[in-house]
Structure 1
Amino acid sequence: MRVSSLLPVSLILILLLPVVIAENKQVELSIETSIADYDIGITNAAMAPDGSSVLIVGNEGYSHLISAKNPGDRSLDVELNSARDNNLNDVAWHPRGEAALIAGDFGTALRYEKVDHSVTIVNGTGAILGRDMSAVAWRSAGDYAYFGSDDGSLWRFSEGTGFLNLGNDGDSKVTGISCHLNYDLCVVSTISSGLGVIGPTHNITWISGTKTNTWIDVDCPDAQLNECVAFASGLRMTSIQLNTVDHTKSSVGNMVEYRTLEGDFIAASRGYSSSSIIYLAPSGTVRYDPLNDVAKVQISSSQMAEWDSVVAGRQISYVWENDFNSGFMLTSNGNIISFEPYQIEIENTMLTTIILAAVTVSVPGVIIGLIYMNSPFLQRKYKQLMKRKSK
């Protein structure tokens, strides 16, 4: 009797086993190609607003344009000439997508023009000469961009006025700048100066109580929420609640620490459908959904290591998606790895057919049996029926 009761339960567990595996493994990985046959030293990249191309920057003035949808096709590449030997550290597309700004070492600030693929020096770089520019972002209106430096200084830029220091600078490296999609508000992350919010009139306010963490990046992925999210070393993350009326009254939410994850946070980029993709060292990604406040492993470090131990040892420089869990990963060496949603294939064997048939029959039986055992009324009716048959 005990064996009979355990059989349906065992069959159900067998049937549900692939679901558990699918929850643990989100995507399938495959090597797409490498941009070059040597270590390029890619530092960052950004996908164009229309999703057509990805602008890549790297060490020693490296700049390159690839297709966002077919990055493995080298015939679609555009080799750019920055005419610079300084390291390029960050890139930001204008909201309209016709140009992009590039930030680099020793006061490097460049503009890429989509129409002719030219890369030129922007106006007013004399003001930032000698500073290593570490981050850049356009605010939503597209009239001003903000640059951050390794020394903690922050600058506003427009082609007409050049560079103007915001004042109230931090004293540590600016690791990230991200601007809200609907408001002229931008958030700033730093190594040890805390988190800041830049208001519509270009003044920055540092949020109290945020200096104790090492912030590695920041993102504002959802246009409908009045908040951004900041990521810190130690697998920590917090929301930044934006006060759209008075940015000086913006605050942070509760700190969350994801101790069960492998590695540590190193950077982030915009994911599909208003999400953020967080990069893990040694190699992995996590998707954060701000609307539902849920973080979920997309690619684990162990999955990367099992797939290709050599590629897994290379740092992730950029990740972009063309659909949910469908996109590409770019390493510092120039490897392009594609990922697609993990598909479970159930082989249609005789054993599978038997299991499915057994479950189909047994599950309703178990449910009916449980109802019967817990219903004195049904038991009484059954006894009465059996007595009538015996007569």
Structure 2
Amino acid sequence: MARNRWVAFSLLLVLLLPLASADLVSRVQLTDAGALAESDLGVTVGAVSPDGKDVLIGGMNGYARLLSAEEADNREMDVELVTGKNATVHDIAWHPRGNTALLMGEQGLAMRYDTYDHSVTNVNGSFSVLGQALTTVVWRPSGDFAYVGSVDGSVWKFAEHTGFELLDNLGSSEIMDISCHRNYNVCFVASKDDGIAVIDEGHALSWIAQTAAETWVGIDCADPTLNECVGFASGLVSKAIRINTIDASKSAAEEALRLELPSGEHIGVTSGHDGTSLVHLAPLGLVRHKPLSGEAFTVLVPEHAAEWDAVIAGRSLAVVWETGLHSGYMITEFGNIIAFSPAVEEVEMNIMDVLVLGAVAISVPGVILGLIYMNSPWMQRKYKQWRFGKK
């Protein structure tokens, strides 16, 4: 009897152990959707229009092109744009209304794309940034001003009626990214080495404590329901920035988190499906970050991308967008277009998880009841009375 009790207790302990974490998985399958050209285009950036229908991309030698977000593999839907510039386009930002987009880049490239006639022209006051290496641009949600960063740490506010106006309290490190919350006129500046700064509604820039130790590559305000944005740094590090909606200068950084991956490094970030962030990896890979829960998990493991196509996976990831969860397109720096869709393996894994959890849910109560029965003469007596009748 004692031996049977030990066996029962051992079985109970095994069933109550948490399930071991699964191996790194790619949750998408890849399809080669062709290339934008036969030669290296030097694509650097892309931005999806507010209505989700178009993607404006840019690159070396003033390259600019409009693609269909839903049919990026269909060259008949492309619109080749003429900038008349030889400088590299580093960033693109659509106006919240979606009628125009700003393009910023090397040598003070500061231009506006107009959807009405597909023209690309210099913005007002572009002479004031002539010669500057402009790295990033974003419109704040009200659409009245945009913010522009440069390689020397300068940050300007821009509006067509005022041109470029330099902000105060700047650093000296390259501005890697700027992102604005979608419900507040509060924006965050990620510099390479000076930390993260916040720009309040009145255009005052303040540096956030405990952010200067990391080498930042991007920042994203993906979920408009949360009062936070998340910065992403080298070393697979991320850090949430809590927004003080009363006094933005008092916004604070939370504890840094590090994603455990066998390989890969953060190189950028794009807003993904349903308030999530898609973090770009080098070698070519993707990680999804969920600000609401703080979770992060692989979407595309770099080793799996290399197994799919070693040549394409060996090229830098320039543009990513989703048309649905785990569905969308990627464009490499060369100009390769990669379509991705939910992986069949992920569905099978989910079914297996359900079966295992169901088995545990059924067996654990049974073992517990069995243990209680084995150690309760009263229950055994009652069972015999019920089963065989009272003698």
TM-score bucket of the superposed structures, by smaller chain: 0.7 to 0.9
What per-residue deviation string (whole Å, max 9, x for no partner) do you get for residues 57-97 of structure 1? 00111101110001001000000001000011000000011
Deviation at 1:384, TM superposition (A): 5.2
TM-score scaled by length of structure 1: 0.87
- Which residue does the alignment assign to 1:374? 372
Secondary structure of 1:310's aligned partner: helix
For the residues of structure 1 that align with 2:239 and 2:262, how far apart are their CA atoms?
16
The amino acid of 2:109's aligned partner reads T
- Which residue does the alignment assign to 1:115? 116
Deviation at 1:212, TM superposition (A): 1.6
Secondary structure of 2:97's aligned partner: coil
- Which residue does the alignment assign to 1:167? 168
- Which residue does the alignment assign to 1:64? 65
For the residues of structure 2 that align with 1:254 and 1:366, how far apart are their CA atoms?
38
For the residues of structure 2 that align with 1:280 and 1:363, how far apart are their CA atoms?
38
Secondary structure of 1:318's aligned partner: strand
TM-score scaled by length of structure 2: 0.87
Residues 325, 341 of structure 1: 8 Å contact kept: yes
What per-residue deviation string (whole Å, max 9, x for no partner) do you get for residues 158-215 of structure 1? 1111111012221011000111101111100011111011111112111123222111
For the residues of structure 2 that align with 1:108 and 1:276, how far apart are their CA atoms?
28
1:279 counterpart = 2:255: no
For the residues of structure 1 that align with 2:129 and 2:69, how far apart are their CA atoms?
32
For the residues of structure 2 that align with 1:181 and 1:369, how far apart are their CA atoms?
52
Change in 2 beyond 3 A, CA 1:383/1:176 = same
What per-residue deviation string (whole Å, max 9, x for no partner) do you get for residues 123-144 of structure 1? 1011111110000000010011
Residues 195, 214 of structure 2: 8 Å contact kept: yes
Change in 2 beyond 3 A, CA 1:361/1:58 = closer
Deviation at 1:24, TM superposition (A): 2.7
- Which residue does the alignment assign to 1:74? 75
What per-residue deviation string (whole Å, max 9, x for no partner) do you get for residues 285-329 of structure 1? 111111111111111111111111111111111111111111111
The amino acid of 1:256's aligned partner reads L
- Which residue does the alignment assign to 1:151? 152
Secondary structure of 1:244's aligned partner: coil
The amino acid of 1:371's aligned partner reads L
Once the two structures are superposed, the pairs formed by residues 1-391 of structure 1 within 5 Å of their partners are 24-260=25-261, 262-344=263-345, 368=366, 371-375=369-373, 376=376, 377-383=378-384
What per-residue deviation string (whole Å, max 9, x for no partner) do you get for residues 308-367 of structure 1? 111111111111111111111111111111111122587xxxxxxxxx9xxx99996896
Residues 235, 261 of structure 1: 8 Å contact kept: no
Change in 2 beyond 3 A, CA 1:378/1:372 = farther
Secondary structure of 2:135's aligned partner: strand
Secondary structure of 1:304's aligned partner: helix
Deviation at 1:379, TM superposition (A): 3.5
The amino acid of 1:259's aligned partner reads E
- Identical-pair percentage: 42
The amino acid of 1:244's aligned partner reads T
Unaligned ranges ≥5, structure 2: 349-354
C-alpha root-mean-square deviation of aligned residues, in Å?
2.8
Change in 2 beyond 3 A, CA 1:230/1:368 = closer
Change in 2 beyond 3 A, CA 1:74/1:368 = same
The amino acid of 1:304's aligned partner reads A
For the residues of structure 1 that align with 2:363 and 2:165, how far apart are their CA atoms?
76
Change in 2 beyond 3 A, CA 1:39/1:180 = same
Change in 2 beyond 3 A, CA 1:244/1:71 = same
Residues 148, 174 of structure 1: 8 Å contact kept: yes
Residues 25, 301 of structure 2: 8 Å contact kept: no
